Amino acid sequence: MIPIRTGVEYNHPDILYSPPLHAREIISAFNAAVTEQWPSFAPNPTLDIHILNSSLSDIPSTTKFDLVVSPANSYGRLDGAFDDAISRAFCPADDYDALTRAAQKILYELWRGFAPPGSFTLVPFPEEIEDVN
Protein backbone atom coordinates (compact mmCIF):
# COMPACT_ATOMS: atom_id res chain seq x y z
CA MET A 1 0.00 0.00 0.00
CA ILE A 2 1.27 3.44 -0.90
CA PRO A 3 -0.46 6.54 0.48
CA ILE A 4 -1.61 9.24 -1.90
CA ARG A 5 -0.43 12.73 -0.98
CA THR A 6 -3.24 13.31 1.49
CA GLY A 7 -2.12 10.30 3.51
CA VAL A 8 -5.18 8.12 2.94
CA GLU A 9 -4.38 4.55 1.89
CA TYR A 10 -6.46 2.28 -0.32
CA ASN A 11 -6.08 -1.37 -1.39
CA HIS A 12 -6.67 -1.97 -5.10
CA PRO A 13 -4.65 -2.45 -8.29
CA ASP A 14 -2.23 0.40 -8.93
CA ILE A 15 -3.30 3.36 -10.98
CA LEU A 16 -0.54 5.39 -12.58
CA TYR A 17 -0.95 9.08 -13.28
CA SER A 18 2.16 11.05 -14.16
CA PRO A 19 1.08 14.69 -14.49
CA PRO A 20 2.79 17.64 -16.14
CA LEU A 21 4.24 20.21 -13.75
CA HIS A 22 1.51 22.79 -14.44
CA ALA A 23 -1.17 20.41 -13.12
CA ARG A 24 -0.22 20.57 -9.42
CA GLU A 25 -3.45 22.36 -8.47
CA ILE A 26 -5.51 19.77 -10.33
CA ILE A 27 -3.63 16.97 -8.58
CA SER A 28 -4.23 18.54 -5.18
CA ALA A 29 -7.93 18.90 -5.97
CA PHE A 30 -8.09 15.29 -7.21
CA ASN A 31 -6.37 13.98 -4.08
CA ALA A 32 -8.70 15.99 -1.85
CA ALA A 33 -11.77 14.77 -3.76
CA VAL A 34 -10.68 11.12 -3.55
CA THR A 35 -10.01 11.48 0.17
CA GLU A 36 -13.31 13.21 0.86
CA GLN A 37 -15.62 11.39 -1.54
CA TRP A 38 -14.37 7.81 -1.95
CA PRO A 39 -14.96 6.76 1.69
CA SER A 40 -18.57 7.99 1.45
CA PHE A 41 -19.21 5.50 -1.36
CA ALA A 42 -17.16 2.61 0.05
CA PRO A 43 -17.03 2.27 3.84
CA ASN A 44 -14.11 -0.17 3.52
CA PRO A 45 -12.10 1.40 0.68
CA THR A 46 -10.36 -1.06 -1.60
CA LEU A 47 -8.75 1.36 -4.02
CA ASP A 48 -4.98 1.78 -3.99
CA ILE A 49 -3.95 4.73 -6.12
CA HIS A 50 -0.26 5.32 -6.79
CA ILE A 51 0.36 8.80 -8.11
CA LEU A 52 3.81 9.06 -9.63
CA ASN A 53 5.15 12.55 -10.18
CA SER A 54 8.01 11.62 -12.44
CA SER A 55 8.95 11.03 -16.00
CA LEU A 56 7.75 7.71 -17.37
CA SER A 57 11.36 6.95 -18.27
CA ASP A 58 12.33 7.25 -14.57
CA ILE A 59 10.02 4.41 -13.52
CA PRO A 60 11.88 1.10 -13.13
CA SER A 61 11.22 -1.36 -15.95
CA THR A 62 10.24 -3.96 -13.35
CA THR A 63 7.21 -1.88 -12.29
CA LYS A 64 3.92 -3.65 -12.96
CA PHE A 65 0.81 -1.72 -14.00
CA ASP A 66 -2.85 -2.65 -13.72
CA LEU A 67 -3.97 0.62 -15.24
CA VAL A 68 -2.33 3.61 -16.90
CA VAL A 69 -4.44 6.74 -17.22
CA SER A 70 -3.91 8.39 -20.57
CA PRO A 71 -5.16 11.82 -21.59
CA ALA A 72 -5.75 10.50 -25.13
CA ASN A 73 -8.04 12.59 -27.29
CA SER A 74 -11.56 11.65 -28.36
CA TYR A 75 -10.17 9.79 -31.39
CA GLY A 76 -7.89 7.56 -29.29
CA ARG A 77 -4.63 8.71 -30.88
CA LEU A 78 -1.79 7.95 -28.46
CA ASP A 79 0.88 9.97 -30.23
CA GLY A 80 1.45 13.22 -28.37
CA ALA A 81 3.08 14.27 -25.08
CA PHE A 82 2.31 11.69 -22.35
CA ASP A 83 0.42 9.50 -24.83
CA ASP A 84 3.59 9.38 -26.94
CA ALA A 85 5.58 8.33 -23.86
CA ILE A 86 3.03 5.57 -23.17
CA SER A 87 3.25 4.33 -26.75
CA ARG A 88 7.05 4.36 -26.71
CA ALA A 89 7.17 2.58 -23.32
CA PHE A 90 4.61 -0.15 -23.95
CA CYS A 91 4.38 -0.75 -27.70
CA PRO A 92 6.74 -3.13 -29.47
CA ALA A 93 9.62 -1.27 -31.14
CA ASP A 94 8.33 -2.25 -34.58
CA ASP A 95 4.68 -1.32 -33.89
CA TYR A 96 4.36 2.20 -32.43
CA ASP A 97 0.62 2.32 -33.19
CA ALA A 98 -0.34 -0.89 -31.34
CA LEU A 99 -2.02 0.95 -28.44
CA THR A 100 -3.63 3.49 -30.76
CA ARG A 101 -5.22 0.66 -32.77
CA ALA A 102 -6.45 -1.01 -29.56
CA ALA A 103 -7.95 2.26 -28.30
CA GLN A 104 -9.54 3.12 -31.65
CA LYS A 105 -11.05 -0.37 -31.97
CA ILE A 106 -12.86 0.04 -28.63
CA LEU A 107 -13.85 3.64 -29.38
CA TYR A 108 -15.33 2.55 -32.69
CA GLU A 109 -17.30 -0.26 -31.03
CA LEU A 110 -18.63 1.99 -28.25
CA TRP A 111 -18.82 5.45 -29.75
CA ARG A 112 -18.51 5.00 -33.52
CA GLY A 113 -14.92 6.16 -33.30
CA PHE A 114 -15.32 9.40 -31.33
CA ALA A 115 -15.56 9.37 -27.53
CA PRO A 116 -17.75 12.13 -26.10
CA PRO A 117 -15.69 14.94 -24.54
CA GLY A 118 -15.28 14.42 -20.82
CA SER A 119 -15.83 10.67 -21.04
CA PHE A 120 -13.38 7.90 -20.31
CA THR A 121 -13.08 4.47 -21.84
CA LEU A 122 -11.18 1.50 -20.43
CA VAL A 123 -9.09 -0.16 -23.12
CA PRO A 124 -7.27 -3.40 -22.30
CA PHE A 125 -3.71 -3.83 -23.46
CA PRO A 126 -3.54 -6.03 -26.56
CA GLU A 127 -2.49 -9.57 -25.61
CA GLU A 128 0.68 -9.37 -27.70
CA ILE A 129 1.78 -6.36 -25.63
CA GLU A 130 0.82 -7.79 -22.23
CA ASP A 131 3.33 -10.61 -22.50
CA VAL A 132 6.16 -8.40 -23.72
CA ASN A 133 5.77 -5.49 -21.32
Helices 98-111/81-90 angle, 10° precision: 120
DSSP assignment of 14-43, as one string? Answer: -EEE---GGGHHHHHHHHHHHHHHHHHH-S
The span from the CA of 11 to the CA of 2, in Å, is 9
Instruction: Give the pLDDT confidence of 23-63 residue by residue, as tens digits.
Output: 567 667 777 776 676 655 555 656 666 777 777 788 888 88
Nearest to 77 by CA among 56, 96, 104, 98: 104
Instruction: Give the pLDDT confidence of 81-124 residue by residue, as tens digits.
Output: 888 988 988 888 899 999 999 999 999 999 899 988 878 888 88
pTM score: 0.60
Q: What are phi and psi of 101, to 5 degrees?
A: -60, -40
Domain boundaries, the chain: 20-54, 68-132
What is the separation, in whole angstroms, between the first and last Cα of the chain? 23
pLDDT for the residue numbered 133 = 53
CA-angle at 68, arms to 67 and 70, nearest 5°: 140
